[in-house]
Amino acid sequence: MEAMVQKIKEEEGTDNDELPNHKGEFGYSKDNPILLTSVPESRKYINRLIYIKPGSSQYTWERTGSMISSIVSAPIDEYNLLDVDSNIVKTIYIWPYNRVNSKKVPEGFGLMDG
């Protein structure tokens, strides 16, 4: 499994914040996912992600599954941002097979120091 992940990183990963062939809005499109190096890094990133909205309350994240994209061969993970009533506020997409962790955040979010 580790050799397969390394091969994906070498062949499809990048040293940039976005894939060169991305489509759509960063983080909100499965064709322009947030690029991270692993599933554990995805969890760390999500725990540091802050939704910036006046009057916003506490939020939680829920991974809904993996999906196929037209821009990479390895699956992209989908996460929902849920409010206190479990309503979906935002959906973001993460690709955990990149060479480096993206420093970019989706529009409307900030990243806590970590």
% the chain with pLDDT above 90: 66
Range of 16's domain?
2-111
In whole angstroms, what is the distance from residue 102 CA to residue 104 CA? 5
- How many domains in the chain? 1
Three-state DSSP state, 94: strand
Encode pLDDT of 71-94 as tens digits. Answer: 999 999 999 999 888 999 899 999
* CB proximity list for 18: less than 8 A, separation 6 or greater: 26, 32, 35, 102, 104
Distances (CA, A) of 61 to 9, 13, 16, 56, 90: 26, 25, 25, 15, 10
Closest to 51 measured CA to CA, from 41, 61, 38:
61
**Cα 102 off chain centre by:** 9
pLDDT above 70: residue 56: no
